[in-house]
Amino acid sequence: MNKNLFRKTSGLMACLGLLSLTGCTTVKEYQKSRINDAEMELSARKSEKFEQNFYLYREGAAGANGGKSGGGCGCN
Amino acid sequence: MKKICISVGVLLSLFRAGYGQSVAQPTYEKRKLKLEEINLVSSYYQQDGNNSAVTGGIGTEKLTDFAQSFDLVLKTTDQRNRQHTIAFDFNIDHYTSASSDNIDPLTVSSASRSDTHIYPSIAWNVHNDNNRTTKGLALSYSTEYDYKSYGINLNFAKASADNNREVSLKAGAFFDTWKAILPPELRPDGYGSGAHGDRDPIDYKPRNSYNLSLALSQVVNKRMQLLFTVEPSFQQGLLSTPFHRIYFQDGGETVEKLPGSRLKLPISFRLHYFMGDRVVVRTFYRYYIDDWGMQAHTANLEVPVKVTSFISVSPFYRFSHQTAVRYFAPYEQHKQTEKYYTSDYDISGFNSQFIGIGFRTAPPGGLFGIGHWQSVELRLGHYTRTTGMVANSVTLLAKIK
């Protein structure tokens, strides 16, 4: 594994995370009408379930997308 | 005296104020297990290409898959006012695969020409509002003709006091068993075909996967929220596919051989933004690296537009780039001296694109006047890979609440 690249990517993600957290404001429950909208849910849609399965089988990269991470060979 | 009166008055008013603000202990309200929602998902997928790993990196990849999913969510509250959620998920898909038919091209139809994959799971989560934690356990099972898998997952999440931030941790393990079906010309004497009725013995090989997921979600403001996820996983056992053929430069033939372990590290970032009153922008990016030499970048953009208060249209686009694993070479490019080899184009270097559109309707009174039928969603997608493989999918989701 390319350790340098891994370090750079992890650093970049951590910086992005810190930057986004420092820019946060406190949002009260009654102000969350848009945040609580079904389209805003922080996960893949239920209707993407089988799409995520075929990504898992047809591509080498997997995980960190809320999809299936194991079970079943996908070898066909 | 005046001071005493004022002091008593202030104390009494404080006492009253304190009394007025005292919170009564929540009384136990026993609730029966209540059906929260049912989701029915049907999907049809078909693909075609000309780089099947079964025939050494050449030959048809034609495949069709018809998948059905039924999930049911039940909720209840216990004596300590904790919310229990039990989710049953039953999935079944039936596929026909032309490449698998070529495992044994001399027979009319080989063992894996078509197969049914069944994978149910059950998940139990307990949410405690007092300390804002969620704990859960999930069990899963998966079976197909030559493969079985048992899975277990544990999860824990803790939200901040203002519910604007949540940290979650998941750990999972899958214990799988392969039935090692070999191409007929590469079977040792007395080795079985794996077909029904064949009494010759066949090997069974393990493949275990262990996953850990750490996620942080954050509400940034009234319109934006994001999610970071890091999900390392480790696999060990038979990671090659026993019926994938390899053709060497010198004309020799064998089966795919890959290392017995693989460490994967995907890191993802999801950001959703509500723009104006009608448009939501859903973005996703993932960086992936593993110890087989693969690196990948995946980006996804989906923009649901609320045409009316109960109809939305969601165009989406996904792009992915991956480099090949270091053990990959095309048909007749491998050398006999190599330790590991594969001609599986799924782990070769390529770019892929998936473009499509989704439609969702959720009328206030339910669909077709059926109050419990909350929504229906249709998704159509077209997938292309620079290796030449093309796929199409259509998915229909019905939600009952």
Candidates A3, A21, A47: best to mutate against B (most CBs of B within 10 A) is: A47
How many Cα atoms occupy the beta-carbon half-sphere of A4 within 13 Å? 0
Closest CA relative to residue B315, chosen from B266, B257, B355: B355
Q: Is residue B51 within 8 Å of residue B58, measured between CB atoms?
A: yes
Radius of gyration of chain A (CA): 18
The pLDDT value recorded for residue A74 is 63
Nearest to B222 among A6, A35, A64 (CB): A35
Question: How far does the CA of residue B8 sit from the closest CA of chain A (Å)?
Answer: 37
Pure H helices in B225-359:
none
Burial label for B131, CB within 10 Å (0-12, 13-18, 19+), is exposed
Burial label for B232, CB within 10 Å (0-12, 13-18, 19+), is middle
Q: How many residues does chain B have?
A: 401
Question: How far does the CA of residue B364 sit from the closest CA of chain A (Å)?
Answer: 14
A contacts of B349 (beta carbons < 8 Å): none
3-state helix, strand, coil split of chain A in percent (to 5) is: 50, 0, 50
Place of tokens 């009316």: B308
Amino acid at A61: A
Nearest residue on chain B to A57, alpha-carbon basis: B346
Q: In angstroms, rounded to a whole number, what is the distance separating the alpha carbons of residues B264 and A74?
A: 17
The pLDDT value recorded for residue A73 is 65
Give the pLDDT confidence of A40-52 residue by residue, as tens digits: 999 999 999 899 9
The fraction of chain A above a pLDDT of 70, given in percent, is: 57
Nearest to A47 among B241, B291, B379 (CB): B379
Amino acid at B112: S
Closest CA relative to residue A53, chosen from A69, A38, A64: A69
Residue B86: partners with Cβ closer than 8 Å, 6 or more residues away: B33, B73, B74, B75, B122, B123, B124
Distance of CA B212 to the CA centre of its chain: 14
3-state secondary structure of A47: helix
Q: Is residue B282 within 8 Å of residue B317, measured between CB atoms?
A: no
Amino acid at B38: I
The pLDDT value recorded for residue B17 is 45
Question: How would residue A20 be classed by pLDDT, with cut points 50, 70 and 90?
Answer: low
- Take residue B363 and report the two structure tokens written for it: 């009328």
Q: Tell me the domains of chain B and their CATH numbers.
A: 37-400 (2.40.160.40)
Q: Is residue B138 within 8 Å of residue B123, measured between CB atoms?
A: yes
Q: Is residue B97 within 8 Å of residue A76, measured between CB atoms?
A: yes
Q: In angstroms, rounded to a whole number, what is the distance separating the alpha carbons of residues A9 and B234?
A: 20
Give the pLDDT confidence of A49-75 residue by residue, as tens digits: 899 989 999 999 999 887 666 666 666
Whether A10 and B149 lie within 8 Å, measured CB to CB:
no
* Max CA pair span of chain A: 49
Candidates A7, A13, A15, A50: best to mutate against B (most CBs of B within 10 A) is: A50
* Distances, alpha carbon B282 to alpha carbons B168, B217, B312, in Å: 21, 14, 14
Q: Is residue B337 within 8 Å of residue B310, measured between CB atoms?
A: no
Nearest residue on chain A to B291, alpha-carbon basis: A1
Nearest to A27 among B67, B219, B284 (CB): B219
Closest CA relative to residue A40, chosen from B62, B377, B379, B225: B225
Radius of gyration of chain B (CA): 27
Nearest residue on chain A to B287, alpha-carbon basis: A9
Q: In angstroms, rounded to a whole number, what is the distance separating the alpha carbons of residues A63 and B266?
A: 6
Q: Is residue B331 within 8 Å of residue B57, measured between CB atoms?
A: yes
- Take residue B83 and report the two structure tokens written for it: 């919310």
Closest CA relative to residue B395, chosen from A53, A66, A47: A47
Start-to-end CA distance of chain B, whole Å, equals: 67
Residues of chain B with pLDDT under 50: 1, 3-5, 7-23, 108-111
Q: Which of the pair, A76 or A64, is modelled with greater confidence?
A: A64
The pLDDT value recorded for residue A66 is 75
One-character DSSP codes across B135-201: EEEEEEEEEETTEEEEEEEEEEEEE-TTSSEEEEEEEEEEEEEEE----GGGPPTT-----TT--S-
Whether A27 and B149 lie within 8 Å, measured CB to CB:
no
Q: Is residue B174 within 8 Å of residue A71, measured between CB atoms?
A: yes
Nearest to A62 among B41, B264, B325 (CB): B264
The pLDDT value recorded for residue B87 is 97
The pLDDT value recorded for residue A18 is 64
Whether A9 and B280 lie within 8 Å, measured CB to CB:
no
Q: Characterize B159-185 residue by residue with b for buried, 16 or more Cβ atoms within 10 angstroms of its Cβ, and e for exposed.
A: beeeebbbebebebebbbbbbbbbbee
B contacts of A31 (beta carbons < 8 Å): 222
The pLDDT value recorded for residue B85 is 97
3-state secondary structure of A44: coil
- Take residue B159 and report the two structure tokens written for it: 């939200």
The pLDDT value recorded for residue B82 is 96
B contacts of A73 (beta carbons < 8 Å): 144, 146-147, 176, 178, 207, 241
Burial label for A1, CB within 10 Å (0-12, 13-18, 19+), is middle
The pLDDT value recorded for residue B183 is 92
Whether A35 and B223 lie within 8 Å, measured CB to CB:
yes
